[in-house]
Amino acid sequence: MKDLIIIGAGPGGYVAAIRACQLGMDVALIEKDALGGTCLNRGCIPTKAYFQNAAVLKTLTRLSEYNVRAENIGFDMKGARERKDRIVARLTSGIKDLLKGYGVEVIPGEAGIAAPGRVRVGGEEITARNILIATGSEPAVPPIPGVDLPGVVTSDQLLELDTVPERLVVIGGGVIGIEFACIFNAFGSQVTVIEYLPDILGALDREITRRMGVYLKKQKIAVHTQTGVERIERRGAGLRVVARGQKGTIKCAADIVLLATGRKPYTRGLGLEQLGVTCDQGFIEINENYETSVPGIYAIGDVIKGPMLAHVASEEGIAAVERMAGLDHRVDYDAVPSCVFSFPEIASVGLSQEEAESRGIDIKVGKFPFAANGKALAMGETDGLVKVIADADEIIIGVHIIGPHASDLIQEAGVVVRNKLKAADVSGTIHPHPTLGEAFLEAVLDVQGRSLHSLPKKGR
């Protein structure tokens, strides 16, 4: 008998397996596909590989700004896909070696839970004291007429294209949709984004999302908000998306249509209903220990409610196995950093201004533009700003960045929000010059009313 069977080897499952082994558990890890799950094989890593291709291409379009001359610049989509596959293969191999090194028994196949402590896979049954479900999520396909037409794809299929579509219509203006819109715009596609809600990236701070809308327009990416898709239809050799917005019907020609309308938990074949595991709208319900309504069966990651983020799944995996071992590990969901790999990048942690105000918190807001940051000017990347939200005691409760390397800059902010540090804790810390991180420092100083590189505000 094993101590723990984990179903799903994505960032939640394989990290949980490693931590469980560190705690002395005998672990089996079942995976029906490739190690690393969606994140490594069809999500985070492949898209970041393409994002880097896109970033290089965008720089090449601005060579004259850097007084650099080059000729015969081209882009090979098939080569980019092959590079992406090599990166994925290297990381998958690394996970395999890690699991082997820790003594995790990796079992290929599709798992079904026969009963608490009993899992079927490949015609055999394995027993364990506890079971951890970490099966992740899959693209949610909306009930739109025409979604089954050739050329209508999810993010999984878009990553496997060998040619760049001339026209790409993205249905959905969330993180996935905006990232792919920016990437394929850089690759040379004419991109249109259709979003049903009033704003793209609706979960983020509104000032940040509205700035992003301006930057998308500068890149000639068409965005239609408050617009619902009525149907997708074949039009000659291509496709046409018919949608209705506030100004009436719009018709968008496309070679490829991307369905970027979110994701849903993947729990097919597990047998949850027969086991009596309680779910809500497809999400498995858990208690503070990540244990389901059936004792001995636990769940983490995208199959439970919360941020559908790889790093959250990993932290939940660690927390779940530590709770099994009697340790008191709690995930701080108020300090989860999130990133959008767009042009420019977006990153945030903590409360948005709207969330803070809706909770009745008396806030102070500090801002600093990258246009006034020396490193950003030297890089030629001056779009965006850093926005800091603090409470009346100047405890920093939210940080929002849109601009160069936002995904890297958010790390410091995550530590600050997680530890409930005050503005004085940050402003009293020397930041190296010249760096992009100084923009965060200046935004914090602005909370205190003493930004050094901003003009004085009236009344101060």
Residues annotated catalytic, as ranges: 433
Q: Where are the alpha helices (DSSP H) in 261-403?
A: 272-275, 310-324, 353-358, 374-379
E strands in 337-405: 338-340, 345-350, 363-369, 385-391, 396-403
CA 404 to chain centre: 17
Q: Which has the closest alpha carbon to 299: 270, 327, 325?
A: 270
**HSE-up of residue 458 (Cα within 13 Å, Cβ side):** 0
Q: Give the residue numbers of the binding site for FAD.
A: 48, 135-137, 302, 308-311
- Strands 105-108 and 111-115, how do they pair? unpaired
How far apart, in whole angstroms, are the C-alpha atoms of residue 319 and residue 392? 32
How far apart, in whole angstroms, are the C-alpha atoms of residue 5 and residue 125? 11
Interhelix angle 13-22/77-102, rounded to 10 degrees, is 20
Residue 85, C-beta contacts closer than 8 angstroms, at least 6 positions apart: none
Q: Give the residue numbers of the binding site for NAD(+).
A: 172-179, 195, 262
Q: Residue 288 is encoded by which pair of tokens?
A: 């503070």
Burial class for 393, CB neighbours closer than 10 Å (0-12, 13-18, 19+):
exposed
Burial class for 73, CB neighbours closer than 10 Å (0-12, 13-18, 19+):
exposed
Residue 81 · residue 50 · CB < 8 Å: no
Backbone angles phi, psi at 182, to 5 degrees: -70, -40
Backbone angles phi, psi at 348, to 5 degrees: -150, 160
E strands in 246-303: 248-254, 256-259, 263-265, 279-280, 283-284, 297-299
Q: Give the residue numbers of the binding site.
A: 48, 135-137, 172-179, 195, 262, 302, 308-311
Burial class for 131, CB neighbours closer than 10 Å (0-12, 13-18, 19+):
buried
